[in-house]
Amino acid sequence: MSHARHVVLNVNVLNLGIHTGSWQRSSEPPTAFADPNYYVRMARLAERGALDALFLADGPALRDHPALRPSQALEPSVILASVAAETEHLGVIGTLSSTFNDPVELAARLLSLDILSGGRFAWNVVTTYSPAAGGNFGLADYPDRSTRYRRAAEFVDVVLALWRDAGTGRGVDHRGEFFTVVGSLALGPSPQGHPLLVQAGGSPQGRDLAGRVADAVFSAELDLGAGIEHYRYVKDAAQAHGRGRADVKILPGLITTIGSSRAEAERRYDEQNALLPENHDLERLSQVLGEDLAALPLDEPVPDRLLGDVADPAKFAASLGFRESVVRLIESGGLTLRQAVREFSGAGHRVVVGSPVDVADTIERWFLAGAADGFNLMPDVFPDGLEVFVDEVVPILRARGLFRTHYAESTLRERFTGTATPTERRVLAGT
State the CATH number of the domain containing residue 46.
Answer: 3.20.20.30
- 184 a known binding residue? no
Structural domain contains residue 410: yes
Structural domain contains residue 301: no
Structural domain contains residue 232: yes
CB 425 within 8 A of CB 244: no
What does the pLDDT profile of the chain (431 residues) look like in tens digits? 334 468 999 999 989 999 988 999 999 999 999 999 999 999 999 999 999 999 998 877 777 677 777 666 688 999 999 999 999 999 999 999 998 899 999 999 999 999 999 999 999 999 876 777 777 788 777 778 888 889 999 999 999 999 999 999 899 999 999 999 999 999 999 999 999 999 987 778 888 889 999 999 999 888 899 899 999 999 999 999 999 999 999 999 999 999 999 999 999 999 998 988 777 778 878 877 878 888 888 888 888 888 877 777 766 766 677 777 788 778 777 888 887 877 776 667 899 999 999 999 999 999 999 999 999 999 999 999 999 999 999 999 999 999 999 999 999 999 998 888 887 665 554 44
Structural domain contains residue 188: yes
- 203 a known binding residue? yes
Structural domain contains residue 291: no
Full domain range(s) for residue 35: 3-259+350-417
- 58 a known binding residue? yes
Domains in the chain, number: 1
Q: Which of 10, 113, 102 is nearest to 56 (CA)?
A: 10
- 345 a known binding residue? no
Structural domain contains residue 431: no
Structural domain contains residue 33: yes
Structural domain contains residue 429: no
